Amino acid sequence: MFENLYKNKQMQLVLGLLLGIGFGFFLQKGGVTSYDVIVGQLLLTDFTVLKLMLSAVIIGMIGLHIMKQLGWIKFHVFRGSIGATVIGGCIFGLGFAILGFCPGTLAGAIGTGQMDALFGGAVGMLIGTGLFAHFYPAINKKFMDRGVFPVDTIPELLGIPSWIVVVVLVVLMSGFLFALEMLKL
């Protein structure tokens, strides 16, 4: 179904731009481009970010699973590793802790005119990206391929159909969201 889109690079750029604008719109409307909301999440006093992201994961997981089952899309999964996960998590966590924004909320904050996000965040992200690119050959050799995961997906790891994993995760995450609402967190 999406073969023509896959071949049309300009249309992919336009679609990516539109989806990015839509994602930013929902981040803004959800309130997660606010520094105070993000700090509240880090301090475990405001769970707006967690609620929004879990909702997005649930919707995305269901949508991707349905599109894959209908043959509309194919997954191109990159085999991960413990080394790459630890390095990526440390870089993401360090940037998040210093700035108070993740890349998505940073872009949304810039879109709303928050100057700290523009000058501190965007400049910091560019510098960090440049440093990572510069040191990538050394990091890649020593750490990235350590502990390569034996399979690409959780269903493969468990040896069960993917729809079972989707249903179980949707139920668990929905239950967790319901509990957060009931506890007024």
- Digits of tens for pLDDT over the chain (185 positions)? 677 777 888 888 998 899 888 888 888 888 888 888 888 988 999 999 999 999 999 999 999 999 999 988 888 888 889 998 998 899 888 888 888 888 888 888 888 888 888 888 888 888 888 998 999 888 887 888 889 899 988 999 999 999 999 999 999 999 999 999 998 87
Number of domains in the chain: 1
CA distance 185 to 182: 8
pLDDT at 159: 95
List, in order, residues 6 or more apart from 82 with CB less than 8 Å away: 146, 147, 149
Q: Alpha carbon of 116 to those of 15, 106, 121, 139: distances in Å?
A: 29, 10, 7, 30
Length of the chain (residues): 185
Q: Alpha carbon of 39 to those of 34, 67, 79, 97, 183: distances in Å?
A: 9, 36, 33, 9, 20
Task: Give the structural domain span for 82.
Answer: 3-182
> Quick one: which of 23, 1, 170 has its CA closest to 69?
1
> Quick one: which of 91, 92, 108 has its CA closest to 37?
108
pLDDT at 115: 84
8 A C-beta contact, residue 145 and residue 81: yes
Q: Flag whether the pTM goes above 0.95.
A: no
